[in-house]
Structure 1
């Protein structure tokens, strides 16, 4: 190992310590921090973020990156370290263009905006959140212009969350999916609806937490390097190597919500936990392709978790932990988790209509950054698109534009990744069945960990060594297409609804 590489790794360790402190503060803000501590916590977030920013834009750091980019050094590095140098030098050059005072203000405003969103959602009043959102939108545009002044803002944001992806590709495959989804939804809507009254009862939230532990363990989440907590909006975060955490939210009248949030967030966490240890402390361990990440969470949640055969080995175990399910026949539960109908809340949407929820958000984000739609006009635009795509209109802001936290922290460009993930899943399904055989049989026999192992060997262990287009080509041998997902939907729901 060269002296320059040793110096770089020592420098990276310092950066990682700040990142861990920031991640822990965010975790605390979302899960446990008392109300009166919020401003102090936000101040600490601003401090550590500023210090991290200073380190990541210091001339010393840039000098190390440039030295390691020289052929005589670069050619001696491992592929993961080469990726680290390429990515970090790119980010260094971008961040170097951002004024430090602006960066501190931006980080602090986003954290403050998150708390304003929580208050607005609780009050179902967009006006409480609007000035914060307006400022975050404005500052996000400024943030991008500092880094890449000649690039389209929204194009940059999409690439920020899904490296190698572009809006031209997304437009093509989303249009392909939309063309197939709308007539499929019409056929489902015309079919008889299942009777689900057995689920109309109260389910103990504390017992739901025990079910979450069962499900996480069953699909392969390791509690030796993971933890769980409760938050308003379920999420997954990696604090450091060996510490991947998930949250959930529990509704007494809707246990299916926490059940599938557990499986979804578990899919995210398993991906992070399964990254090869040789990649720790490199850019490969920082999985910055959100579509790829969402493909793992949504594969567990939908392709596996909504398959009836997933539940055959564990339904009685779940009922023992949550006794109310003893009064819910297995067939009724299966119909409930595969019930397709237009609904207001994205996170509660079925896997068919979910894609339309994402297309709505994608179209609004393009309107924000390309058409400069006014912030105050967003609720009306949201409601209009809900009516166009799903045939329903929110009764209030909480079930409309305030339902997601993403825009509060400036995560514009993230939403498309959810649907990209589902599109990738249709392709993974076909590849898995070629290698492991019929999925129904694998699940019926309780071999869920065989699937987790397949995903680990094909995808997880590489972290972000390859972008999503490269992963799809390596795993499936094809270019990205929505057709496999549409085939999966058509085959599955023609049986469920008998059309």
Structure 2
């Protein structure tokens, strides 16, 4: 076999291992019984470690190194040039991580991922404290191997949003913090909608049908999607032909699962729309989480909370949920756009959500700057919640224990949620410049025109363009929070 064929053979094996590991994670989060968790954890550790060993093996590294040499590199097409360049860069980092440490790292994060929901359900941070400390120590050690010349938190930010810096985040988050804290105070002082109109019972199986209808309406290929149920909704990509989405149905609060579906549907559509020429290569693995979150939050907020999104499908919604005939579309839209100071990030409105993310960013920054210890996190969390939103969580389940991200070591991920919203303000301007008013497009039932625009300008390129390059090519400007601030003020000053 040629060098390229040998490399592709190893890549194929790595794909199989990744597929198996992803399926086990999916099983752990969705249908596996509690009694299976220990064995499942052992299997995940085994397959993850085998994948790590193969990807960082001398054989794999030698092939990538040879293919990176100018004479061989120039023979490659653009897809493989990107794949080899990205793989070489990542291997240079990963090969510095000892295999025995990597195995312990997987064990540590898997253990914490099992402990976290139990601590949340029991509202007991002390159950989780030691495991979280172990994860933070492991993350620091891991970054010490892979990015020895970077401050840990800078390396973590770059890991989830390549090219992003703490300095840039401080700038744009600072702009938002300054504008949104007083705006939230102003908006929440106004009369609120009658929330009691939307607490009627909607069976989970009906909610599931509604959610399937909505994501298909948005442009999802339903032949390449699977749905599951879990405590915390998420999307995972097995490959370009198999994207999985979960939801958490709440029978007396049906609006939350609807917007979880729209949000996760945005993630899944991005994954489905990557050009298939990148299948099995680094180009298909979208690791820019700010860009990923921009797509989920664009569908959820910019589109999904717009009254014109619902106008063409309101009769269908009443068909699914007959109780909606007793409320007007205007009342429904007022409900889904109400702004409230709430404790749970995933249930927050689009305005206060920004402050939830700023809170987490500031805490993560302090953890890795050595300014806060794990044992003090509940108190620090509550203090910042009071500072940013003017409320104090009644318990840790509504505070520091509400998110799963820290248990698997995903520090540096939270900023991507708000970066995504900031990108959305810029993408909205670009779309309306190209296609005209999104109000008109949505009211005509042509949401798939917007999905097509997103595919052509963002999705199809997968990970071959980092977020700053996408902003430059699509918007023609550098990152700014001003378009999002303009959108918020125009919407909520009404």
TM-score category of the 2 structures, normalised to the smaller one = over 0.9
Aligned length: 494
Gapped runs of 5+ residues in structure 2? none
Match of 1:411 in 2: 410
Report if the CA contact (8 A) 1:228-1:245 is conserved: yes
CA shift, 1:197, in A, is 2.4
Alpha-carbon distance between aligned partners in 1 of 2:393 and 2:95, rounded to the nearest angstrom: 43
State whether structure 2 residue 124 is matched by structure 1 residue 125: yes
CA shift, 1:65, in A, is 0.8
Alpha-carbon distance between aligned partners in 2 of 1:46 and 1:189, rounded to the nearest angstrom: 47
Q: Normalised by the size of structure 1, how large is the TM-score? A: 0.98
Q: Normalised by the size of structure 2, how large is the TM-score? A: 0.98
Alpha-carbon distance between aligned partners in 2 of 1:277 and 1:409, rounded to the nearest angstrom: 30
CA shift, 1:446, in A, is 0.2
Match of 2:457 in 1: 458
Match of 2:313 in 1: 314
Report if the CA contact (8 A) 1:214-1:318 is conserved: no
Gapped runs of 5+ residues in structure 1? none
SS in 1 for 2:243: strand
Match of 1:9 in 2: 8
Match of 1:74 in 2: 73
Report if the CA contact (8 A) 2:49-2:102 is conserved: yes
CA deviation map 1:95-149 (0-9, x unaligned): 1111111111111221111110010111111111111111000111011101122
Match of 2:150 in 1: 151
Alpha-carbon distance between aligned partners in 2 of 1:344 and 1:171, rounded to the nearest angstrom: 23
Report if the CA contact (8 A) 2:210-2:258 is conserved: yes
CA shift, 1:172, in A, is 0.5
SS in 1 for 2:144: helix
Alpha-carbon distance between aligned partners in 1 of 2:196 and 2:210, rounded to the nearest angstrom: 21
Report if the CA contact (8 A) 1:406-1:412 is conserved: yes
CA shift, 1:194, in A, is 2.2
Match of 2:467 in 1: 468
- After TM superposition, the structure 1 = structure 2 runs for residues 96-111 of structure 1, keeping only pairs within 5 Å, are 96-111=95-110
CA shift, 1:94, in A, is 1.3
CA shift, 1:404, in A, is 0.5
State whether structure 2 residue 160 is matched by structure 1 residue 177: no
Alpha-carbon distance between aligned partners in 1 of 2:106 and 2:179, rounded to the nearest angstrom: 40
CA shift, 1:354, in A, is 0.6
CA deviation map 1:453-483 (0-9, x unaligned): 0000000000011100000000000111000
Match of 2:301 in 1: 302
Q: Which moved more, 1:366-375 or 1:185-194?
A: 185-194
Cα root mean square deviation, aligned: 1.0
Report if the CA contact (8 A) 1:55-1:61 is conserved: yes
CA deviation map 1:371-430 (0-9, x unaligned): 252111000000000000000000011110011000010000000000000000000001
Match of 2:50 in 1: 51
CA 204–324 in structure 1, closer or farther in 2 if over 3 Å, else same: farther
CA shift, 1:342, in A, is 1.0
Alpha-carbon distance between aligned partners in 1 of 2:338 and 2:414, rounded to the nearest angstrom: 23
CA shift, 1:78, in A, is 2.3
CA deviation map 1:172-203 (0-9, x unaligned): 01001111112221221232222232113222
Alpha-carbon distance between aligned partners in 2 of 1:187 and 1:196, rounded to the nearest angstrom: 20
CA shift, 1:221, in A, is 1.1
Match of 2:39 in 1: 40
Report if the CA contact (8 A) 2:309-2:443 is conserved: yes
Alpha-carbon distance between aligned partners in 2 of 1:150 and 1:158, rounded to the nearest angstrom: 14
Q: Which moved more, 1:101-110 or 1:405-414?
A: 101-110
Match of 1:329 in 2: 328
Match of 1:26 in 2: 25
State whether structure 2 residue 475 is matched by structure 1 residue 443: no
Match of 2:340 in 1: 341
CA deviation map 1:52-71 (0-9, x unaligned): 01101101111011111111
CA shift, 1:282, in A, is 1.4
Match of 1:356 in 2: 355
